[in-house]
Structure 1
Amino acid sequence: MSSSAPASGLEAKAAKKLAARKRFEDVFPLLVEELIDYLKSEGMPAEAQEWYRKNLDYNTPGGKLNRGLSVVDTVDILLCTDAGGKRTRELSEPEYLKAAILGWCIELLQAYFLVADDMMDASLTRRGHPCWYKVQGVGNIAINDSFMLEAAIYYLLKKHFRQDSYYGFLLELFHDVTFQTELGQLIDLITADEHHVDLSKFSLEKHHLIVLYKTAFYSFYLPVACAMHMAGIKDESLFKHAAAILLPLGEYFQVQDDYLDAYGNPEVIGKIGTDIQDNKCSWPINVVLLHATSEQRALLDQHYGRKDAASEAVVKDIYSASNIDIPSKFAAYEKKSYDEITAKIAQVDESTGLRRDVFTSFLDKVYKRTV
């Protein structure tokens, strides 16, 4: 009996997670119908309606949905637990629906970024399927389609939140985070051109800016800030405290992702790392550049960003060289990040309505992950 208990606990946890995902996914078709009804009300032809429907369905669901689900989870913690972490109630159906709509707005933002990003990177596949612009008959129409994914956010916010006191804050938040993410994309594009390798443009400072602006704001801060507004939190200092925790957490997540790209097990993480061949301004290469000998630097200039396995192997050998040892440097970075983030979480004053569990739930999902 005792040996099967942990497995049963894990199975129950997995089942709960699947149920939460399905409940969230079930909201999306309702939003699609609202958007299509809007096109109908504007007299758009059936062909345009079906194109938009396919655009929405192809590009928005299907990913991990971590950002959208984080909104629901955070609203649930803020509204349904007390300062001691004890559960006090369940979300009402209207509360759940509004939280889920905010979550799907973030997933629409993600879809907008990915459709455009795939074109900029000339990528071929996304989530195991052809990138939207590679789908037969789409091509450069995908540029306008990405705009329409973004526009859906503001239609849904207006329809469902216009009457709420925090509506203006939501608009400001989505606009600000979109601009911040685009700034991160700009730095990435002009620093790490896949077709013109120039390692002199790389630095840990550039990497910090790229991951902070391109990933951390919209993937970590935005879901929590949306939930805080919905929960009635208005104190600007609490939003700053949340950002002070979530932005370093987002940076740690991306550094971890960069490390797993080079050292993760492809069968576990579900993909083969391509950062070296794609000339990515990733954390490992920037650390290597700080410690490389002149001979190692010459080899990196010759082999980094080249589309062949032999060159990639040369770079990975340098990563593991005794004077560099990326695995040990990452272990030290991970411990330092965890300690600093944990200390900031401990400073959260729960009497303000903010909850430490909001941040520990994020950290627990990320710390020492292998996928």
Structure 2
Amino acid sequence: LRKKMNQPLLTALRRFTNNQQLLASIANLLEQISGGKGIRGRLLIGALEANVLLYGHASLALKANTIASAVEMLHAGFLIQDDIMDNASTRRGKPCWYRQVGLSGINDGVLLQSAASWLPSVVLDDHPQKNAIVSSFVEATMITSLGQKLDMEKARPETCSWDRYRELVTNKTAHYSFWFPMKVGLLLADVQLEEVEIELKNICYEFGFYFQAKDDYLNCFGDESVTKKHSSDIACGKLTWLLLTAVDMSKSDDDQLKIIWQNYAQFEQRMTKEVRSLYEQLDLRGKFRLFEQAAVQNLSTLINRLKMPQLCPLLFEMLHLIKNQ
């Protein structure tokens, strides 16, 4: 299936090169970076199928699969660059791509992003929403880059706020992971978004906030044999749900705040352990469980109120997937 999804890009690239070695190298890149839950592609296809019966529409189905693969390619490009900036070691249980190929991985990330944004203009022909879809890819790339810029700034006492975290999450995660694929799927279905756009976008952004908060939690408290993460957010100085919650709970305790800020964003393992020990002392596991219950309840309420009920099964499927990751 992955090879079938990657084939449109390899075919389209022949417009620019017939260098078989280069094309084989790109095919290997696509194969090596595959994996993950495919949330973004599933959202796109699900949004389309909720509004259009694809049976008997082979051409639209093929185009949709190609655009879904482009969305996942864009995601892969972001991940390659994110791993380089974070000096990460593994991704999805394998060495990060740049660890395998060196700094040429920077260009590979750019290649994937460029190809993803270019593919819709190639495959959509005279689709009435072609320009809007192409524009959505460009917008998603820009917004995510802004979020990545925010994410690379180490957390400090003067910048540690929930408003900043929500801005970071909205730009880095929520927009391109949830709203962007949902919007593109609906545009492929030629659905008029005016009446539900604000409502649906808000739901997608709430999904993104919950998704990122859970990712923050798993980075510290998840099963390392599954997540392959080792509290790297603490060492990298990331602004996270856990850090903000710990700071809120420690505002009346100078000693606890001192532990956080003297040890946060330091690569010595003992310093990471100091922060993680405080997280345990503050019972952030329990605090996250309460947050998760409230987030799931809030999203369930928003989904049930949505004025586009045909999307509700898809959104509840996504909610179940995130909750059980």
Deviation per residue, 1:93-146 (Å, 9 max, x gap): 3333222111111111112212222222223333333333333xx433333332
User: Which of 209, 234, 247 does residue 167 from structure 2 map onto?
Assistant: 209
Aligned identity (percent) is: 25
Pick the structure with greater CA Rg: 1
CA 1:231/1:270 → structure 2, altered by over 3 Å: closer, same or farther? same
CA 1:271/1:124 → structure 2, altered by over 3 Å: closer, same or farther? closer
1:110 maps to amino acid: H
- Within 5 A, what are the aligned runs for 1:180-191? 180-191=143-154
2:265 maps to amino acid: G
Q: Could you tell which deviates more after superposition, 71-80 or 207-216?
A: 71-80
Return the offset for 1:176: 1.2
CA 1:217/1:230 → structure 2, altered by over 3 Å: closer, same or farther? same
Return the offset for 1:211: 1.3
Number of residue pairs the alignment of both structures matches: 323
User: Which of 238, 242, 245 does residue 196 from structure 2 map onto?
Assistant: 238
- Within 5 A, what are the aligned runs for 1:132-281? 132-135=97-100, 138-192=101-155, 198-281=156-239
Q: Could you tell which deviates more after superposition, 44-53 or 245-254?
A: 44-53
CA 1:356/1:327 → structure 2, altered by over 3 Å: closer, same or farther? same
Aligned to 1:71: 44
Aligned to 1:28: 5
Q: Distance in 2 between matches of 1:235 and 1:277?
A: 42
Q: Distance in 2 between matches of 1:93 and 1:248?
A: 34
Aligned to 2:279: 319
Q: Distance in 1 between matches of 2:227 and 2:138?
A: 32
Aligned to 1:13: none
1:69 maps to amino acid: R
Deviation per residue, 1:289-339 (Å, 9 max, x gap): 122110111111222233344333322232233xx4323322332232222
1:128 maps to amino acid: G
CA 1:101/1:46 → structure 2, altered by over 3 Å: closer, same or farther? closer
* C-alpha contact 1:27 1:97 (8 A) present in aligned 2: no
User: Which of 62, 85, 100 does residue 35 from structure 2 map onto?
Assistant: 62
Return the offset for 1:258: 1.2
TM-score (norm 2): 0.89
> What root-mean-square deviation, in Å, do the aligned CA atoms of Structure 1 and Structure 2 show?
2.4
TM-score (norm 1): 0.79
Return the offset for 1:342: 1.8
Aligned to 2:27: 53
Deviation per residue, 1:258-292 (Å, 9 max, x gap): 12222223345454442222222111111111221
Aligned to 1:127: 92
Q: Distance in 2 between matches of 1:333 and 1:360?
A: 18
Match of 1:235, SS state, is coil
Match of 1:97, SS state, is helix
Aligned to 2:288: 330
> Unaligned 5+ residue runs, structure 1?
1-21, 81-88, 193-197
Match of 2:173, SS state, is helix
Return the offset for 1:225: 0.9
* C-alpha contact 2:152 2:238 (8 A) present in aligned 1: no
Aligned to 2:72: 107
1:224 maps to amino acid: M
CA 1:259/1:133 → structure 2, altered by over 3 Å: closer, same or farther? closer
Return the offset for 1:249: 1.0
Superposed structure 1 runs of 4+ greater than 6 Å apart = none
Q: Distance in 2 between matches of 1:152 and 1:335?
A: 39
> Unaligned 5+ residue runs, structure 2?
none
2:131 maps to amino acid: G
CA 1:291/1:91 → structure 2, altered by over 3 Å: closer, same or farther? farther
1:56 maps to amino acid: L
Return the offset for 1:200: 3.7
Is 1:285 the equivalent of 2:259? no
Match of 1:275, SS state, is helix
* C-alpha contact 1:215 1:254 (8 A) present in aligned 2: yes
Return the offset for 1:350: 3.8
Q: Distance in 1 between matches of 2:320 and 2:105?
A: 37
Is 1:117 the equivalent of 2:117? no
